[in-house]
Amino acid sequence: MWSAADFFSYLSRHLPSLLDGDRQSRSIGENGEAYFPAIPDRFRGQEVPIWVDATGFESTIADQKQRVDGGSLYLAVRKKSGHVSGRVQDQDGNPISGAELSAAGVLTHSDGSGHFELIIPGDKLEQEMDLQAVAHGYKAQKYKVVPDANELTITLPTAP
């Protein structure tokens, strides 16, 4: 989980909006929102395109258009999720099917080819995370991983 200091360092990031050529941007607030006051009257009653352009954040709504009913617009944002993926194998390089992998309370299993993917929600995402791999007949292993980095190769030694 991010510390308050890390989160507030993102407050300087901006969210742009394109309003018929009038580009506006606002900082992300401490509750994960952007507020656009004083939208020109000519846009009231219209749907306008709006999107998030801030590293590590995304809009909470799928539709990238919002209707302007008043003189302001509110856009809720959240931290983007991260991915950790790779392959689980034994010491000879053979895939391990059904290995349990977990990080930040998120759990998945490797498939028949040993491949796995964990999607870590933004509110649980850290720059470096602990990943645990467990499989029947093998010694459990812990790894330090960086989300959204290269695919991992997890090698589990045979249990004694």
Q: Which residues contact 62 (CB under 8 A, 6 or more apart)?
A: none
C-alpha torsion 124→58→111→131, nearest 10: -30
Dist CA 106 CA 160 (whole Å):
28
Confidence of residue 63 (pLDDT cuts 50, 70, 90): low
Q: pTM above the 0.95 mark?
A: no
Q: Kindly tell me if the per-residue pLDDT of 128 is higher than 80.
A: yes
Could you tell me the domains of the chain? Answer: 4-79 (no CATH), 82-155 (2.60.40.1120)
